[in-house]
Each structure stands twice: as structure tokens, then as C-alpha cells.
């Protein structure tokens, strides 16, 4: 189990809005989420409205259910810091995420998604280029054979 701390400069929390948005995108009901989190529907609804601080204890499980990372649930337009610490006596390891690293990661993900989207086009272009080169090589081989035949004929004269 882990402890999750979210520190935001302006003191407001909007993680609950992101959780609600992602849950709706995934077409999961509040009842389903509550059941999977082993809590009441009204308790879960309070989490989504930001009326309960339990969201920090439940957030890793919520992210897992929604199939997203903790970073993806963090608010976008702020300079908050997220600290994820294991529940151990010594808290020996912790992960820190600041808003700028989250934005950089999202930009990289968007870039990779674009590449993946166009991968078929890129592959098709590469295949076409290879086919063109193979045709040129075959034509060159035919020309070499024809030239060798001419050379042989000239040698015979």
C-alpha cells in the first residue's frame, strides 16, 4: 500500500474532476467504482465531488481500475507536486512528479500516438521505396546481361 500526497500552490484540488472525467470516458458507473473499491456509492460520489480526502488513499486503486497512471489523474494546469510513498516505517523510496515533468511526458505520449497513428502510412511508403529499388536493381541486372552479351559478340569479331 502507498501514501499519496498532492501539494498544490493554490490549495484547490481538482483530481476528483479528472477521476470523474476518466470514469465517464471509460463508461464505468459510480456504483461499479464503489463496488470495486469496496465502499458505498455515496462515499465514492463524495470522492468525485472532492468532499472527502479519502481520495488520496484510494487514488492508486482508482487509477488501476480506470487503467490509467496516477500522473494521468493529476490536474493539468497547475504547478502542484505529487509525492508517492510506500507505507513502510522508513519510507525509504518515494516518487516525486511535478507538473512540468507530467506535461513533458504527455507531450511525448502525444508525439508517440501520432507516430503510431501514421505508422501504416510510413510502412507503406517504405515498402513502396523498397519495391522501386528492387525494380531498379532488376533493370540494372538486365542491362548488365545485355552489355555482357554485346561484349561477347564484339570479342568474337
Range of the domain at 37: 2-98
Is pTM beyond 0.75? Reply is no
Q: What is the CATH number of the domain that holds 78?
A: 1.10.260.40
Q: Is position 150 within any domain?
A: no
Q: Would 136 be classed as within a structural domain?
A: no
Number of domains in the chain: 1
Name the range with the highest mean pLDDT among 7-11, 69-73, 142-146. 142-146
Least-confidence region, from 17-21, 55-59, 145-149: 55-59
DSSP letter (8 states) at residue 97: E
pLDDT > 90 in the chain, percent: 32
Query: Phi and psi dihedrals of 5, rounded to 5?
Result: -120, 135
- Whether 11 and 62 have beta carbons less than 8 Å apart is answered as no
What's the mean pLDDT in 25-37? Answer: 93
Single out the residue of 39, 35, 47 nearest to residue 4, CA to CA: 47
Average pLDDT over residues 123-127: 92
Is 108 among the domain residues? no
**104 belongs to a structural domain:** no
Cα of 59 vs its chain's centroid, Å: 18
Residue position matching grid coordinates 497547475: 78
Q: Is residue 111 part of a domain?
A: no
3-state helix, strand, coil in the chain (%, to 5): 65, 10, 25
Q: What angle do CA 76, 73, 108 make, to 5 degrees?
A: 60
Amino acid at each position: 500500500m502507498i501514501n499519496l500526497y498532492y501539494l498544490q500552490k493554490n490549495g484547490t484540488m481538482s483530481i476528483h474532476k479528472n477521476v470523474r472525467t476518466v470514469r465517464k470516458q471509460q463508461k464505468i458507473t459510480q456504483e461499479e467504482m464503489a463496488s470495486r473499491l469496496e465502499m458505498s456509492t455515496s462515499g465514492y460520489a463524495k470522492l468525485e465531488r472532492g468532499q472527502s480526502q479519502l481520495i488520496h488513499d484510494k487514488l492508486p486503486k482508482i487509477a488501476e481500475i480506470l487503467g490509467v497512471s496516477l500522473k494521468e489523474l493529476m490536474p493539468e494546469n497547475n504547478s502542484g507536486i505529487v509525492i508517492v510513498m510506500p507505507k513502510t516505517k522508513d519510507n525509504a523510496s518515494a516518487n516525486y512528479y511535478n507538473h512540468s515533468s507530467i506535461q513533458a511526458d504527455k507531450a511525448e505520449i502525444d508525439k508517440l500516438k501520432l507516430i503510431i497513428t501514421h505508422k501504416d502510412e510510413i510502412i507503406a511508403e517504405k515498402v513502396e521505396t523498397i519495391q522501386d529499388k528492387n525494380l531498379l536493381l532488376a533493370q540494372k541486372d538486365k542491362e548488365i546481361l545485355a552489355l555482357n552479351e554485346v561484349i561477347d559478340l564484339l570479342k568474337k569479331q
